[in-house]
Each structure stands twice: as C-alpha cells, then as structure tokens.
Amino acid sequence: MMLADTDWNRVFEPQTIAIIMSMLVPIVGSVAWAWFRINKTRSDNALKRSLAERGLGAEEIERILAAKGPKGD
C-alpha cells in the first residue's frame, strides 16, 4: 500500500483517531514515567555524591536521605 493510495478521509474519522489516541496515551505515559525515574535517580545520585565529597560518613548520608522524605513516589 502506497501512502498516496491512503484514504485520508477515513484516517481522520473519530473512531480512527480514538483508536490511535488510545494507543498513544499509554506509550507517552510510559516514556514520561521512565524519564521522571531517570531524572530522579540522577538527582539522588548527585546529592549522594556531593554529600560524600563533603566528607560525610555513610551513617550521616543515610540519616540525611531518610529525613529528605519517603523513598516511594
């Protein structure tokens, strides 16, 4: 099937758009969630690295991270 042979009126029918959107929403949500988790991990690692560079011990870093908030999102 060639792109020129596509019936564009059928592509833009409400049913077709609803099907396409129902497939795109979970994909976009999954990408956004992965991006969020990657950025959160980078931020947490940068904090831990900066605390270690300041010379804080492991117990102090754990205490600071525990005071920062719950681990779950």
| Higher local confidence (pLDDT), 40 or 5 | 40
Query: Would you state the pLDDT for residue 73?
Result: 55
pLDDT surpassing 70 at residue 71: no
Residue ranges per domain, the chain?
A: 29-73
Query: Would you state the pLDDT for residue 66?
Result: 87
Query: Would you state the pLDDT for residue 67?
Result: 87
| Higher local confidence (pLDDT), 1 or 28 | 28
| Residues in the chain, overall count | 73
Q: Record the pTM.
A: 0.65
pLDDT surpassing 90 at residue 21: yes
Q: Give the up-direction half-sphere exposure of residue 29: CA atoms within 13 A in the CB hemisphere.
A: 6
For 29-46, b/e burial (b = at least 16 CB within 10 A) is eeeeeeeeeeeeeeeeee
